[in-house]
Structure 1
């Protein structure tokens, strides 16, 4: 189950085409739930407040864009690389949570939901 639709994705500024977005929204939803320690599924998305639902949708859409940009490097065993004057690192753009690499922007949305605290 995806927490965001293609319409949500476009509304939040997404640029990918509709034919590939459904799978990406599903995968991103799974990773966003991991970042919330399974609480979205545990509580039930429909049982969350409208505010929390909106932030989760934004996080999913942001994660889709992150995967689109960095996708081929996400599962790489290296944390960065450089070749001549070109350097790339995931250190500042994402964090590994629950085995998934989540963009810092998506984590910012999730932090406001109250679902990412380990204390809950």
Structure 2
């Protein structure tokens, strides 16, 4: 059984009104974003099954996957850079956690998108 994204191409294009990712790259981008969501939710979606989640959780996850896929596509060069910072002629740039980007488990995500994902209740690490 192959891994499927939590969002279809149709949902991305028509419900989310996605137009950032070229059509031939949408499926791959959505699958990668879904895997990153799985990492940030401790694979709880995989273990419970997407259809077992509440409608509220499902809708948030769909929206977050779309927003994450857009973010990763638009910022692929910076996200994949091995540099953590650089400076040229007094101008510097830094990669990693910043005021508007959250990074955890190797996943970079806009903080407001992560805050939306947290509303599902699936991002908290439970004490054992």
Corresponding residue SS for 1:117:
coil
Matches for 1:1-120 after TM superposition, within 5 Å: 1-10=4-13, 11-15=15-19, 16-84=21-89, 87-90=92-95, 91-119=98-126
**Structure 2, unaligned runs of 5 or more:** none
CA shift, 1:85, in A, is 7.1
Number of residues of Structure 1 aligned to a counterpart in Structure 2: 120
The residue matched to 1:24 in structure 2 has which SS? helix
Q: Which runs of 5+ in 1 are unaligned?
A: none
Following TM superposition, the consecutive aligned residue runs of length 4 or more in structure 1 with deviations greater than 3 angstroms are 79-90
Give the number of the structure whose alpha-carbon radius of gyration is greater: 2
Q: Give CA-to-partner distance per residue, 1:44-82, whole Å, 9 cap, x none.
A: 111101110000011110111111111111122333444
Query: CA offsets per residue over residues 16-53 of structure 1, 9 Å max, x none?
Result: 23211000000000001101111111111111011100
Over the aligned positions, Cα root-mean-square deviation in angstroms equals 2.0
